C-alpha cells in the first residue's frame, strides 16, 4: 500500500506553548484514518498543518507524495474545517457554485457535483435559502458538501458530524465508506468513540502527543479491554 499522507516528526509551538510534540503518522491510500482525542488535544492544529494552512515548527508533511504546503495539492484535497467558512448572504446553491468555481470545474461537471453533494447531506430542498438562515447543523452539512465539491482524492474532515442528527450521521458515514471503496483517502477527527470504531486505523491524541495507534480491533486486543474509551484512558494513564 502507498501512503497518501506522511507526517514525519512534526512538532508545533506557539511561543513557549507546545501544541504538538514529535507526531509521526502514515495514512495509507484508501483508508479511513481517525484522529481521536478531546478538544484541545492538538487534532485541529495537526489537520491545519496537513492541509498547508499552518507550518510545523519542526518536522515535515507530505500528501500524495508532495511536500506540504503546495498550491497544486489544493485541487486534490477536500477540507472541512471545524468552524464553518461559508458566505451567509449567499444561498446554499450559490456557496456551492462559488467553491466549485475555485476548482475550475466545467459547467456540466459543476452541476453534477453540486447535485451529488447537496443530496448526500440532505440539503437539496434548502439550496435556495440564504445560509444566514440555516441552523448550525445545516451549516455543518453544507461545509461537508463544499469539501466534496471537486471530487478530491484526499478528504480531511475536522469533527464533520458535530451538531448533525444521528440518522444523517449514519448516512454520511455510509457515504464515507463508499468513497473509501472508490479509492479515496479520508482523515477524520472526532471525539466520539462510536465513530472511532468505524475507522480502519486510529491515532489517539492527548496533550499534543500520540498515546497509542492501531486498528480498533488491535487496540482493544492490545490493552485487553472491550471499549475504545477504556483504551484511551489506559493508554493516557500509561503515557502520563
State how far the Cα of 174 lies from the Cα of 157, in Å rounded to an integer: 15
pTM for the model stands at 0.90
User: What per-residue confidence (pLDDT) applies to 103?
Assistant: 86
Which residue is it, cell 480531511? Answer: 156
The mean pLDDT of the chain is 92
State the cell numbers at 56: 510545523
User: What per-residue confidence (pLDDT) applies to 136?
Assistant: 86
Which residue is it, cell 466549485? Answer: 100
**Residue 239 pLDDT exceeds 60:** no
**Residue 128 pLDDT exceeds 60:** yes
Domains within the chain, CATH numbers bracketed = 1-76+158-163+188-240 (3.40.50.300)
Q: Among residues of the chain, what percentage have pLDDT more than 70? A: 98
State the cell numbers at 47: 489537520
- What phi and psi, each to the nearest 5 degrees, are found at residue 6? -125, 120
**Mean pLDDT of all residues in 84-96:** 95
User: What per-residue confidence (pLDDT) applies to 125?
Assistant: 96
Laid out side by side, the sheet with 66-67 consists of: 17-28, 3-14, 58-63, 66-67
User: Are the beta carbons of 175 and 121 closer than 8 angstroms?
Assistant: no
Q: For residue range 177-192, list pLDDT tens digits in order.
A: 989 999 999 999 998 8
DSSP single-letter state for residue 178: H
Which residue is it, cell 445545516? Answer: 138
**Residue 51 pLDDT exceeds 80:** yes
Q: Among residues of the chain, what percentage have pLDDT more than 90? A: 74
Q: What is the DSSP string of 41-103?
A: SSHHHHHHHHHTSS--SEEEEEETTEESS-GGGGGTEEEE-SS----TTSBHHHHHHHHHHHT
Q: For residue range 143-168, list pLDDT tens digits in order.
A: 999 999 999 999 999 988 887 888 88
Q: For residue range 133-145, list pLDDT tens digits in order.
A: 998 888 988 999 9
**Mean pLDDT of all residues in 23-49:** 95
State how far the Cα of 30 lies from the Cα of 182, in Å rounded to an integer: 8
User: Are the beta carbons of 100 and 149 closer than 8 angstroms?
Assistant: yes
Close Cβ partners of 122 (under 8 Å, ≥ 6 residues apart): 141, 168, 171
State the cell numbers at 3: 501512503
User: What per-residue confidence (pLDDT) applies to 168?
Assistant: 81
**Residue 237 pLDDT exceeds 80:** no
State the cell numbers at 107: 459547467
Q: For residue range 100-111, list pLDDT tens digits in order.
A: 988 888 889 999
Asked if the peptide bond before residue 97 counts as cis, ω within 30 degrees of 0, the response is no
**Residue 240 pLDDT exceeds 50:** no
**Mean pLDDT of all residues in 56-61:** 97
**Residue 238 pLDDT exceeds 70:** no
- What phi and psi, each to the nearest 5 degrees, are found at residue 92? -60, -45
Amino acid at each position: 500500500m502507498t501512503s497518501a499522507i506522511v507526517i514525519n516528526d512534526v512538532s508545533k509551538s506557539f511561543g513557549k506553548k507546545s501544541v504538538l510534540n514529535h507526531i509521526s503518522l502514515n495514512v495509507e491510500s484508501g483508508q479511513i484514518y481517525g484522529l481521536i482525542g478531546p478538544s484541545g488535544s492538538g487534532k485541529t492544529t495537526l489537520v491545519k498543518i496537513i492541509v498547508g494552512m499552518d507550518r510545523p515548527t519542526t518536522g515535515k508533511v507530505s500528501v500524495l507524495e508532495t511536500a506540504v504546503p503546495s498550491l497544486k495539492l489544493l485541487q486534490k484535497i477536500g477540507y472541512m474545517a471545524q468552524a464553518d467558512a461559508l458566505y451567509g448572504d449567499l444561498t446554499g446553491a450559490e456557496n456551492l457554485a462559488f467553491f466549485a468555481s475555485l476548482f475550475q470545474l466545467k459547467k456540466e461537471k459543476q452541476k453534477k457535483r453540486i447535485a451529488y453533494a447537496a443530496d448526500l447531506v440532505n440539503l437539496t430542498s434548502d439550496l435556495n435559502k440564504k445560509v444566514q438562515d440555516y441552523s448550525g447543523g445545516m451549516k455543518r452539512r453544507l461545509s461537508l458538501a463544499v469539501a466534496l465539491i471537486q471530487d478530491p482524492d484526499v478528504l480531511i474532515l475536522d469533527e464533520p458530524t458535530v451538531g448533525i442528527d444521528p440518522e444523517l450521521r449514519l448516512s454520511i458515514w455510509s457515504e464515507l465508506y463508499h468513497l473509501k471503496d472508490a479509492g479515496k483517502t479520508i482523515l477524520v477527527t472526532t471525539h466520539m468513540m462510536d465513530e472511532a470504531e468505524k475507522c480502519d486505523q486510529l491515532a489517539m491524541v492527548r496533550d499534543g502527543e500520540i498515546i497509542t495507534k492501531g486498528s480498533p480491533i488491535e487496540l482493544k486486543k492490545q490493552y485487553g479491554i472491550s471499549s475504545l474509551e477504556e483504551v484511551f484512558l489506559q493508554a493516557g494513564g500509561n503515557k502520563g
